[in-house]
Chain A
Amino acid sequence: MKIYKNTGNIDTRSGFGAGLAELGKSNPDVVALCADLTGSLKMDEFKDNHPERFFQIGIAEANMIGIAAGMTIGGKIPFTGTFANFSTGRVYDQIRQSVAYSGKNVKICASHAGLTLGEDGATHQILEDLGLMKMLPGMTVINTCDYNQTKAATLAIAEYEGPVYLRFGRPKVANFTPEDQKFEIGKAVHLTEGNDVTIIATGHLVWEALEAAKILDEKGISAEVINIHTIKPLDETAILKSIRKTKCVVTAEEHNFLGGLGESVARTLTLNHPAPQEFVATNDTFGESGEPLMLLDKYGLNAKAITEKAEAVILRKE
């Protein structure tokens, strides 16, 4: 199987910061707004180089989303930055009415998503944001897997007209996708070819899926790993093509199984090609404080958990 090399652990949020800094130079319409988390969101470079296009809103996320919506009127492309929890749940109605329903070209960029935020605990570890965002009509929902992909996605969403939710995270994780990749919104990325099981992963769990594929390979099981960075619109064609071949699937995400990628895949299968599916996701629970890797292990969101679910789903094939 194809082996991916980790070129060095780095956080996905730094990919966002690097992408935003590049946009600062390349696109004069891009403006950035932050709710008192400039350092955490890695927005410093943009802020330092383009102070006139950087807006410190303070700890007032609802106002930030509204201002961003207003700034689109006159042609600006606002990128808002705060934690995923405060980017979605806290401001759902503002996003719903002023951004999504109003069809505004706002890029909601959200860091520290999921359990891997770690020690701050459940108040900050949102595991429902993908569901919240994917339910909004017209919202594009992206969850990138590593530094390079997050940077590429940040550049790509500036070129796309319409509201976008871009989700990334806090911890330093493997960086393995190509530096020069072209990010295509809504296009699945095939990482490994396999015949026995399809593993569809998003965000931090893509690397875990690749690690699982290696373990499975040693056991004589060939896994096809697909990186779904865009949860909405979902690349149903790629998903169905793979599952028609492997006849079963494991979905993996750092999110509640309710409302996440897994449910979107399940709907696609139910409508088109029913097949056994197992979910690697949190099980309708809040998180808790702890070290990110220990949390992923406790809540069953790592290579080990993906491997176990892959073996289980294969047994369910007819």
Chain B
Amino acid sequence: MSTTQHLQDFVTQVRRDILRQVHQVNSGHPGGSLGCAEYFSVLYQDVMEYSKNFDMDGKNEDLFFLSNGHISPVFYSVLSRSGFFPVEELKTFRKIDSRLQGHPTTHEGLPGIRIASGSLGQGMSVAIGAALTKKLNKDSHLIYSLHGDGELQEGQNWEAILYAGSKGVDNLIATIDYNKKQIDGATDDVLPLGNLKKKFEAFDWKVIELKAGNDIAAIKGALEEAKGLTGKKQPVVILMETEMGNGVDFMMGTHAWHGKAPNDEQLEKALSQNPETLGDY
């Protein structure tokens, strides 16, 4: 178990990594990445059981699938700082000949990535598939997945949500990054998602509402609760309410930083709010 101090330091460093990655190539998605820094940190530093010697099949390990692949900066930062590949490699984010593509991929052989994502709405199905194989292999480890809330507008999700609920895929813990924002604005303005809790429950899922989705202890609590609900013939979803751009004051409370990189001055300001903890790459 990681200490709270370690996790806080880890999150702060991940935020720096996110900001510096997108700044150095003037592209990428800082908003959603920052909003999920705590989730990824808790998951990889505290909750999941996995081997750092990456193996695609991941037998006897917990596996994670990122469906909203555009928040790759947070994924790359946490994977590298969890030992999957050298932290130095974050320098290559979105550059030519890099394993750190704009959206995560298996194609370049980056350890820690098990599926390409970016075209939205596909990760839930993939996570279900991996969960079914775990059952066939009599492997009691769990599948974790993360999805954007706006991403739920993609119809494939609902095919997958129906399947997992109807067929009782109960070794799956999906989390929705419920920041209520997407590129064009608030999800309520673009295409309202309605009552997500009721929707998932209507599809026979167990629903955990996590109101403090940027609070380390609360995330830990929700994931532990979710683990306790697995193996009971129902899939589990955590509706994790996050703040897009969390940890950088001028990026919070707006969708403006969904897919925009900070300039030099903005970077400086953002980094000053998140002093170096574990060492910059």
Q: Does A248 contact B (CB under 8 A)?
A: no
Q: Which among A58, A62, A73 is the interface contact of B57 at CB below 8 angstroms?
A: A73
Asked if A102 contacts B105 (CB within 8 A), the reply is yes
Q: Does B87 contact A (CB under 8 A)?
A: no
B107 CB to nearest A CB, Å: 6
Provided the pairs A63-B125, A66-B160 are in contact, do residues A73 and B56 lie with their beta carbons within 8 angstroms?
yes
Asked if A73 contacts B58 (CB within 8 A), the reply is yes
Asked if A98 contacts B132 (CB within 8 A), the reply is no
Q: Which residues of the other chain, A, contact B119 by a CB distance below 8 angstroms?
A: 93, 96-97
Q: Does A39 contact B (CB under 8 A)?
A: no
Q: Does B137 contact A (CB under 8 A)?
A: yes
1/0 per residue B131-171: CB within 8 Å of A? Answer: 11110110100000000000000011001101100000000
Q: Does A101 contact B (CB under 8 A)?
A: yes
Asked if A67 contacts B106 (CB within 8 A), the reply is no
Q: Does B59 contact A (CB under 8 A)?
A: yes
Provided the pairs A69-B129, A76-B133 are in contact, do residues A102 and B156 lie with their beta carbons within 8 angstroms?
no
Task: Sort chain A's interface into a size bin.
Answer: 20 to 34
Q: Does B259 contact A (CB under 8 A)?
A: no
Asked if A71 contacts B133 (CB within 8 A), the reply is yes
Of chain B, the residue at the smallest CB distance from A59 is B159
Provided the pairs A74-B59, A101-B107 are in contact, do residues A67 and B129 lie with their beta carbons within 8 angstroms?
yes
Q: Which among A31, A71, A102 is the interface contact of B130 at CB below 8 angstroms?
A: A71
Asked if A97 contacts B118 (CB within 8 A), the reply is yes
A75 CB to nearest B CB, Å: 5
Which 7 A-B residue pairs are closest in the complex by CB-CB distance? A70-B129, A66-B125, A74-B133, A63-B159, A60-B159, A67-B129, A70-B126
Q: Does A57 contact B (CB under 8 A)?
A: yes
1/0 per residue A83-111: CB within 8 Å of B? Answer: 00000000001101110011110000000
CA distance A19 to B134 in the complex (A): 26
Provided the pairs A57-B163, A63-B160, A102-B116 are in contact, do residues A73 and B124 lie with their beta carbons within 8 angstroms?
no
Q: Which residues of the other chain, B, contact A72 by a CB distance below 8 angstroms?
A: 129, 133
Asked if A75 contacts B125 (CB within 8 A), the reply is no
Of chain A, the residue at the smallest CB distance from B115 is A102
Q: Does A286 contact B (CB under 8 A)?
A: no
Q: Does B176 contact A (CB under 8 A)?
A: no
Of chain B, the residue at the smallest CB distance from A67 is B129
A307 CB to nearest B CB, Å: 46
Asked if A66 contacts B132 (CB within 8 A), the reply is no
CA distance A68 to B130 in the complex (A): 9
Q: Which residues of the other chain, A, contact B118 by a CB distance below 8 angstroms?
A: 97
Q: Which residues of the other chain, A, contact B37 by a CB distance below 8 angstroms?
A: none
Report which residue of A62, A75, A93, A94 has the largest number of chain B beta carbons within 10 angstroms of its beta carbon. A62
CA distance A70 to B131 in the complex (A): 8
Asked if B58 contacts A67 (CB within 8 A), the reply is no
CA distance A67 to B133 in the complex (A): 10
Q: Which among A31, A66, A103 is the interface contact of B128 at CB below 8 angstroms?
A: A66
Taking CB atoms and an 8 Å cut-off, the chain A residues in 36-77 that contact chain B are: 52-53, 55, 57-58, 60, 62-76
Q: Which residues of the other chain, B, contact A104 by a CB distance below 8 angstroms?
A: 115
Asked if A102 contacts B107 (CB within 8 A), the reply is yes
Q: Which among A52, A62, A96 is the interface contact of B136 at CB below 8 angstroms?
A: A52
Provided the pairs A73-B130, A74-B59, A102-B106 are in contact, do residues A66 and B136 lie with their beta carbons within 8 angstroms?
no
Q: Which residues of the other chain, B, contact A103 by a CB distance below 8 angstroms?
A: 106-107
Asked if B163 contacts A58 (CB within 8 A), the reply is yes
Asked if A73 contacts B129 (CB within 8 A), the reply is yes
Q: Which residues of the other chain, B, contact A102 by a CB distance below 8 angstroms?
A: 105-107, 115-116
Of chain B, the residue at the smallest CB distance from A29 is B136
Taking CB atoms and an 8 Å cut-off, the chain B residues in 220-251 that contact chain A are: none
Q: Which among A31, A71, A98 is the interface contact of B116 at CB below 8 angstroms?
A: A98
Asked if B128 contacts A67 (CB within 8 A), the reply is yes
B259 CB to nearest A CB, Å: 19
Provided the pairs A63-B163, A97-B117, A102-B115 are in contact, do residues A74 and B137 lie with their beta carbons within 8 angstroms?
yes
Q: A69-B115, A74-B130, A93-B122 are in contact. List 7 more A-B contacts (CB 8 A).
A: A65-B125, A66-B126, A67-B132, A74-B139, A102-B105, A102-B106, A102-B107
Asked if A98 contacts B130 (CB within 8 A), the reply is no
Q: Which residues of the other chain, A, contact B156 by a CB distance below 8 angstroms?
A: 62-63, 66, 94
Q: Which among B58, B106, B124, B128 is the interface contact of A74 at CB below 8 angstroms?
A: B58
Q: Does B114 contact A (CB under 8 A)?
A: yes
CA distance A99 to B124 in the complex (A): 14
Asked if B106 contacts A55 (CB within 8 A), the reply is no
CA distance A93 to B117 in the complex (A): 11
Asked if A73 contacts B125 (CB within 8 A), the reply is no
CA distance A62 to B139 in the complex (A): 26
Q: Does B63 contact A (CB under 8 A)?
A: yes
Q: Which residues of the other chain, A, contact B136 by a CB distance below 8 angstroms?
A: 31, 52-53, 74, 76
Of chain B, the residue at the smallest CB distance from A66 is B125
Q: Which among A52, A71, A93, A96 is the interface contact of B129 at CB below 8 angstroms?
A: A71
A139 CB to nearest B CB, Å: 14
CA distance A52 to B136 in the complex (A): 8
Q: Does B261 contact A (CB under 8 A)?
A: no
Q: Does B127 contact A (CB under 8 A)?
A: yes
CA distance A73 to B62 in the complex (A): 12
Q: Which among B56, B59, B125 is the interface contact of A62 at CB below 8 angstroms?
A: B125
Q: Which residues of the other chain, A, contact B57 by a CB distance below 8 angstroms?
A: 73-75
A308 CB to nearest B CB, Å: 44
